[in-house]
Amino acid sequence: MAVLKVTLPPALDQFVQDQVAAGEYPDTDTLIHEAILRMMPRAEADSFRVERFNALVQVGLDEIERGDVIEVTDIRAFLDEIAAEVEAGFADRAA
């Protein structure tokens, strides 16, 4: 197992020491180990989101290269048109 030296700011060091003293963890190594294990799913999810975002951006770039684009000169009118289409779709479902 690798040895890692960690320097914490005083407030975090005190928190770690308090947790160990209260019996929440048998030692600081265990506390830090568990903290990292709890962080891993979030880090993995963040990585997945970045990969997914990059893939979707690439799809858009590929569409631009192929010329599959819509030219918008009036953004307000374009957004109003999209909103109308959405509302019509909801109205159709309600009917």
pLDDT value at 15 more than 80: yes
Given this model, what pLDDT does residue 94 score? 73
Given this model, what pLDDT does residue 28 score? 95
Give domain status of residue 37, yes or no. yes
Residues spanned by the domain of 20: 10-94
Residues 16/28, Cβ–Cβ less than 8 Å = yes
Average of per-residue pLDDT across 43-63: 96
- Output 55 or 2, whichever has higher pLDDT: 55
Give domain status of residue 3, yes or no. no
Task: Give 9's DSSP letter.
Answer: -
d(CA 18, CA 12): 10
Give domain status of residue 21, yes or no. yes
Average of per-residue pLDDT across 51-55: 97
Report residue 57 as tokens: 């951006």
